Structure 1
Amino acid sequence: MSVEIKNLEPQNVWEIFSEMTQIPRPSNHEEQIQNWAVSFGEKLGLETIKDDAGNVIIKKPATPGMENRKTVVLQGHLDMVPQKNSDKVHDFQNDPIEAFVDGDWVTANGTTLGADNGIGSAAAMAVLASKTLKHGPIEVLLTATEETGMDGANGLKAGMLDAEILINTDSEDEGELYVGCAGGEDVNITFNYTEEEVPLGFVALQLSVTGLKGGHSGMDIILGRGNSIKTFFRIINAAEELGVRLASIDGGSLRNAIPREAFGVVVVEEAKVAEFIALVDEIADDVKAELAATEPDIDIAVEQTEMPETLIDAATQKNVTKAVVACPNGVIRMSDSMKGLVETSTNLAILKSDAKSKTINGGCLMRSSVDSAKDELGTRLKAVFELAGAEVTLSGAYPGWKPNMESPILKTMQNVYNEKWGRVPKIMGIHAGLECGILAQNYPHWDMISFGPTIRFPHSPDEKVNIETVKKFWEFLVATLEAIPEK
């Protein structure tokens, strides 16, 4: 960890975030960061609770003279997405994040940074620790396992919090206020296969697709980035006439990240190896030309490897290949009501073979701000993969957050921003799964809003947060808390 980070402004926020980078906190392995948060609240002498879902709740009384203000809950999530470059040695369950200052940004060495949502959570903790800020009653809600299923938000019980206003800190563009988000649902895909022997006279090759940027499957889906799994099977499909056989596939790693890499072992008749390599080079040139603006570093390579013991049976190989080629992927529809906002999308995120269970398992994450559109997309995806012989289930559905343009906290924050910086912030919806819609199920009376500093390329090793916008985000939060209206 670079010492420089602790000295950035606002120092109180960066010190806490720096401390968080030293605590492993990938989704589903959050015990250390939860215990740290509990200890943080208890050391301040504040009421601190860890509930059955793993959420940490810390309550701070109003500063003198502010007792009659509405109670505000500051909300973020403690987990982070564990993504790294294939050549980076890093154990997310044990190793700290190597964060450093890079010009105007803070980023990490070969891994995700965890600014999503570490910076927002750090700001909430800084409010708790401050002895000089003016604010009404504050409740901080730090949720569990947001990135892989929003488990904490789903598990939060009614009656745990007293607030009337929720300020979510999980948005990623400074100068914008978010009042709505997409809902989502997982598509789980399983192909069963039988093993076949490798024919005589074949050569084993590893086909790899690397160098893609990946990114957040909601925020970055509009950028038109490549999908390593789709590219891999584009090649396998084209090589069908050469009799290329598939032994294994390992593509993508996280349900909510655009897959950056895909690796697979294939076998090719020795007499056709040169022809296969030429085909791969030809497709690589096409893909590089198609994605020149968005994926300048894509690399598609073939190299000889150890002969596999068995192959995926030919029928299943063909079914998987055709299904992946046909699978809808990327932006499906743009919003009619908010210019520039994606309404519906899907991301083919994972496809991996498992020799032990003799299965090929895949997953897509669908997102939409229109429930019926999401349902229709799910029907399409099921149809594609079921026609190819896969077992398909839908799971983990969560609701979107419907905008309230008459929101009092929206008007308060618009006024505060305008007074400080001379312009009204943009009102936005986000094509990502904020927890607001889920939390509203048990707290329907909450007046909700989301904002944050500028973060780029979350869910990828290129993740970075802009230093100047963190300062502005903090000043905006401080001024907002002081401007919260009376009860």
Structure 2
Amino acid sequence: MNPEILKLTPAIFWKHFARISEIPRCSKNEAAILAFLKEQFQAWGLEWRQDAAGNLCARKPPTAGFEASPAVVLQGHVDMVCEQDTGRGHDFSCEPLTLIRDGSWVRADRTTLGADNGVAVAYMLALLEDKSCRHGPLECLFTVDEETGLSGALGLDPSLVTGRILINLDSDLPGEFITGCAGGSTTSAEWNAQTDAVLEPGWKLFKVFFHGWRGGHSGVLIHEPRGNPLVSAGAFLREMVNSAASWRLFALKGGDKHNAIPREAVLGIALAPKDGEQLRSASKKILQILERELGEHAQNVQIEVLPWEGPVPTRWLTPSSSIQAASLLSALPHGVHALSQQWPGLVETSNNLAVVKLKDEVLHLVTSQRSSVASQGAELSRKIRTILEKAGASVKQADGYPAWTPAKFSRLRDLCAELWPQVAGTPASVTVIHAGLECGILGDKLPGMDMISFGPLIEEAHTPHERLGIDSVGLVWKFLTKLLEALK
């Protein structure tokens, strides 16, 4: 544990944040963090329950004078997106995160930090332990598996909580109070490639490595001109199709999480000797396009053509199947599909081309659709399904999760807007976001719930560049404790 982190304030928050950073908590690998939480609840003499989905709820009695106050539910998820830089070699299943203070920020050593949503876990632990805060009855709800499909919230036993005021601590900009979010679903597919074991004599094997893309949270950053290496790989293959070169595909991989914009991609291409410069020509052309399209976001982008150094394949996509794979990849959309008519500047509907992997002659694809308008999200999913099925792929579409529609009247929202300027000295911003939050599901399961979402400053979530603003942690803690005191 980095002692520099423990010197930060509020100390009670950073103590807990540092501690949970030592515990593995990738999505679907949450047993250790749940066991730790139970130990803490028991040590503090708190009542707690766990439902069949794995969600935990710990209750803290009201402080003196607040016995008649309504119960408040604080909520966040225990899992994190686990991403790392190429070559880092971090084992998320057993190794602790290495926390680093970097000026006014805390980050991890070339991995995701887990501030999304470790800050919620740390804030709730701090509130459960702290004896100086004044508040009514507290119910701290720790949900599981948010990042891979919100399955914890979807499986929540409604009897786990009794309060009808909910503070979700899964937002990333201080002073911004979220009252609504997009819904979402995933569309995955498998496409059977045609292969053979025959490669013409003299052909050479190449690795085309797409790297330097910034990636990021597909709900928060999809509108930025960050590009997607899978899109560029599709454009690259389209250049090969349009050339006179003789080539065959034997490897294709990029992306890892449905809710993270990919940062890297790899193509394995066998090429006839006469066409040795064709790969570099296609690389140069795609890079020129990216410079125009992405501007400053393209400054670290690279497409390297390298000799293939992995195991020599024994089968290759046939020429026709290579062309079909190129056509399929380049046909799939990525990015903003429509802007909101109700909230100027907000993305209404989008698609993330998230994961593509060629394995055992099957091309696996995962895309993630989000929309604040259910009919628009469904229409985009239908279009993607049509593209995939026309290419001969088998398609699966998950049920997804609902959008969170802003309430017409909300005492909690009004109180946040009133108190924030008193604490921070700056105006509050009440808005909706394109990212998915568990609030939409929780609102369906818990009718009458008055909900808000806010949090400290987090940048580059779902990437190894994720970082947490130190000063914002204390500011949000001060606001949170004042808000709980005001909810009488």
For the aligned pair, the TM-score class normalised by the smaller chain equals: over 0.9
Gaps of 5+ in 1: none
Percent pairwise identity? 36
CA deviations over 1:199-241 (Å, ceiling 9, x no partner) = 2221000011011110000001011211011111211110123
1:38·1:50 contact (CA, 8 Å) conserved in 2?
A: no
1:246 aligned to 2:246? no
Deviation, 1:384, is 1.3
CA deviations over 1:142-186 (Å, ceiling 9, x no partner) = 000000011110111122211020000001111110000000000
1:105 corresponding residue in structure 2: 105
1:204·1:308 contact (CA, 8 Å) conserved in 2?
A: no
2:315 corresponding residue in structure 1: 310
2:230 corresponding residue in structure 1: 229
2:13 corresponding residue in structure 1: 13
Instruction: Name the SS for the 2:42 alignment partner.
Output: helix
For 2:55 and 2:92, the matched residues in 1 are separated by 21
2:247·2:319 contact (CA, 8 Å) conserved in 1?
A: no
Matches within 5 A, 1:126-137: 126-137=126-137
Instruction: Name the SS for the 2:298 alignment partner.
Output: coil
Deviation, 1:380, is 0.9
1:218 corresponding residue in structure 2: 219
1:122 maps to amino acid: A
Q: Which moved more, 1:193-202 or 1:95-104?
A: 193-202
CA deviations over 1:431-473 (Å, ceiling 9, x no partner) = 1110001111220111111000111110011101111111111
Instruction: Name the SS for the 1:410 alignment partner.
Output: helix
Deviation, 1:280, is 1.8
1:448 aligned to 2:451? yes
2:56·2:143 contact (CA, 8 Å) conserved in 1?
A: yes
CA deviations over 1:13-39 (Å, ceiling 9, x no partner) = 011000011001100111001111111
1:457 corresponding residue in structure 2: 460
For 1:10 and 1:408, the matched residues in 2 are separated by 28
Gaps of 5+ in 2: none
2:146 maps to amino acid: E
CA RMSD for the aligned pairs? 1.2
2:351 corresponding residue in structure 1: 346
For 2:486 and 2:480, the matched residues in 1 are separated by 10
For 2:180 and 2:35, the matched residues in 1 are separated by 31
For 2:483 and 2:335, the matched residues in 1 are separated by 37
1:430 corresponding residue in structure 2: 433
Measured at CA, do residues 396 and 91 of structure 1 come closer, stay the same or move farther in structure 2, by a change above 3 Å?
farther
2:223·2:347 contact (CA, 8 Å) conserved in 1?
A: yes
2:291 corresponding residue in structure 1: 288
Measured at CA, do residues 44 and 5 of structure 1 come closer, stay the same or move farther in structure 2, by a change above 3 Å?
same
2:279·2:305 contact (CA, 8 Å) conserved in 1?
A: no
1:365 aligned to 2:368? yes
1:351·1:363 contact (CA, 8 Å) conserved in 2?
A: yes
TM (norm. structure 1) is: 0.97
Among 295, 319, 335, which residue is 1:330 paired with? Answer: 335
For 1:424 and 1:354, the matched residues in 2 are separated by 52
Matches within 5 A, 1:38-437: 38-196=38-196, 197-240=198-241, 241=243, 242-306=245-309, 307-355=312-360, 358-437=361-440
Instruction: Name the SS for the 1:448 alignment partner.
Output: strand
For 2:216 and 2:412, the matched residues in 1 are separated by 31
For 1:40 and 1:405, the matched residues in 2 are separated by 38
Instruction: Name the SS for the 1:293 alignment partner.
Output: helix
